Amino acid sequence: MSLPSPLSFVAKAPVVPVVVIERLEDAVPLARALVEGGLPLIEVTLRTPVALEALRLIAAEVEGAIAGAGTVINRAQIDATIAAGATFLVSPGTTPELTSAFTEAPIPIMAGCATASEAMRLAELGFEVLKFFPAEASGGAAFLKSIAGPLPHLRFCPTGGIGPANAGDYLALPNVVAVGGSWVVPSDAIRAGDFGKVRELATAASQLKRAAKFG
């Protein structure tokens, strides 16, 4: 099965910011800071009451942003986020029902997995880049390195417990196309309206080197 691929998106930057927006007024300046810092992919997690409207604002108002939705766990959220302007979707895991809904979605999906068997099944269904979550708790970079030999066709965007101290360990692996992380969007900086700090962290993250090849 051929599904829309997220590879052209994740090729643009080594880090996908995982964003939790508590106040709607933070959405646009936060996204602009990330784009200006070189991280155009923005995963707006559906964890707060304003998340959907925040996604809508970013998609409509922030030039250069590639806005997506994270923590997608059911079909209704797929429909709602696409209507809000999401250009990609990310899930923490993938139930059979969610998998079925994802295969019908018109935009790229990074479906979540935590084991080799889950990853193999999703790859068989046509998912090209998988979210490995929770990365550190599920074996970390060592796990992804160990399965690269027997399963070289699988590609991952690991998320969960990743920060500046270990992001390079993941990005050094050829089967890791990008990493997801919240360290570039610290909650204290957002609460203080310090989007300059976000821009600074995004700039540093955008310069991380990765071993994965695209195309």
Q: Are 103 and 1 in contact (CB under 8 A)?
A: yes
The alpha-carbon radius of gyration of the chain (Å, integer) is 16
* pLDDT at residue 26 in the model: 98
Q: Is 131 a catalytic residue?
A: yes
Which domain CATH number covers 174?
Answer: 3.20.20.70
The model's pLDDT over 185-211, given as tens digits with 9 standing for 90+, comes to 999 999 999 999 999 999 999 999 999
Q: Report which residue type is found at 19.
A: V
φ, ψ dihedrals at 42, nearest 5°? -130, 115
Q: What does DSSP assign to residue 5?
A: -
The yes-or-no verdict on residue 1 having pLDDT over 80 is no
134 within domain boundaries: yes
Q: Is residue 73 part of a domain?
A: yes
pLDDT in tens, 20-62: 999 999 999 999 999 999 999 999 999 999 999 999 999 999 9
Residues 141, 173 contacting (CB under 8 angstroms): yes
Domain count across the chain: 1
Which among 61, 124, 131, 213 is annotated as catalytic?
A: 131
Q: Is residue 211 part of a domain?
A: no
- The percent of residues in the chain predicted with pLDDT above 90, rounded, is 98
Single-letter code of the amino acid located at 50:
V
- pTM listed for this prediction: 0.97
Which of 124, 55, 118 minimizes the C-alpha distance to 92? 118
Q: Which of 22, 43, 128, 209 is catalytic?
A: 43
Q: Summarize pLDDT for 104-135 with one digit per residue, the tens.
A: 999 999 999 999 999 999 999 999 999 999 99
Q: Is residue 215 part of a domain?
A: no
Does 70 reside within a domain? Answer: yes
Convert the pLDDT of each residue in 72-81 to its tens digit.
Answer: 999 999 999 9
Q: Which domain holds residue 65?
A: 7-206
